[in-house]
Amino acid sequence: MAILSSSFENLYSFRIIHDVLEPVRLSFKFNSRVSDHNEPHGENKELSEFYTKLYKADENKLRPGIDYKLNLQANLENTRKLVDLSTKPLFEFVDEDILRNRPTFAKFVALLDNYNPQVGVTEIVTEQQQKEEDDFINELLKTEVMKMTYNFLIEKQKLSGDIKNFGKFLKDLWFKRYKRRSPGDSSAFEHVFVGEHKKSKILGLHNWIQFYLKEKNKEINYYGWKKSICNDRLLSLTYIDKDKYEKPIGGIFVGSSPEFDIAVYTVAFALYPKSLTDVDIAGCKIRITCHELSPSEMSTCYMG
């Protein structure tokens, strides 16, 4: 358990419907032959509308300048080498009462120290860690954001079953361990939200809460930013960690709630698992990138 002060058949009963999934998989295989990169064909209006509704319904998102404050400092957009041109942390202030007291935040933070970041090292999963995963999923399902996500995926015929079984689907998608290099050495949650180490690089870590906590605990040294859009909500950053693993460029969506991020990536992966998807979320133009290891295994999803 992390502490703030220190700084598919038998997998789930609620499953992606087989007869719907197979045509989608064939469609994307066909599309990949047309475009190797699956480039988006303009803004996805349907997802833009849905994500904007999610964003407006999210009562747990933080308010810039009130709940947190940034200090962007050096713009490294035209800098090719990794060089530290920022003398202070990125986060000047975060209201940690939110991280402690809002249930989805608190349950999310409790998960962050459950992983060995080294790719190739099989994860050891304890009963306590499994309980923390269940607690997090249960809190997610109480939110309006996740209820809307459930209804949207039902409407799109990507899912079947009740919302309780939706939780089983979420746990399997995000927390099932899979092989990135060795059996059981990774999971979607670990990669996207926690971050991993491979050779000299940081993989994943597309979450502002994890970045903030690591920076606060002096486990991350912020070098500067490459791109800032949406009034500094969506940032591309350069940094290294305390073990000198590098992140030449990595995106985070600042101030979002855990349920919002989980919802955005779950929907993107269910609909477009091997694509780049352009959306407009409440006036913020974002590209969502997803990659799969298999139709049921998310390799990564991130906003940029």
Q: How far apart are CA 120 and CA 192, in angstroms?
A: 17
Q: How far apart are CA 296 and CA 25, in angstroms?
A: 11
Quick one: how far is CA 243 from the chain centroid? 23
Residue 13 lies in a domain: no
Residue 4 lies in a domain: no
Determine the pLDDT at residue 12: 36
Residue 6 lies in a domain: no
Q: What is the pTM of this model?
A: 0.87
Could you tell me if 228 and 234 are in contact, meaning their C-beta atoms sit under 8 angstroms apart? Answer: yes
Residue 2 lies in a domain: no
Residue 173 lies in a domain: yes
Question: Residue 231, Cβ neighbours under 10 Å: how many?
Answer: 11
Give the residue from 206, 205, 171 showing the smallest Cα distance to 286: 206
Domain that holds residue 137: 18-303
Domain count, the chain: 1
Determine the pLDDT at residue 18: 32
Give me the percent of the chain exceeding a pLDDT of 90. Answer: 80
Give the residue from 197, 143, 132, 185 showing the smallest Cα distance to 166: 143
174-198 pLDDT, tens per residue? 999 998 998 888 999 999 999 999 9
Question: Residue 195, Cβ neighbours under 10 Å: how many?
Answer: 24
Determine the pLDDT at residue 182: 86
Q: How far apart are CA 58 and CA 168, in angstroms?
A: 22
List of the chain residues with pLDDT < 70: 1-41
Which residues have a catalytic role annotated? 191, 206, 247
Determine the pLDDT at residue 257: 99
Residues ≥6 apart with Cβ < 8 Å to 150: 141, 159, 163, 166
Determine the pLDDT at residue 217: 98
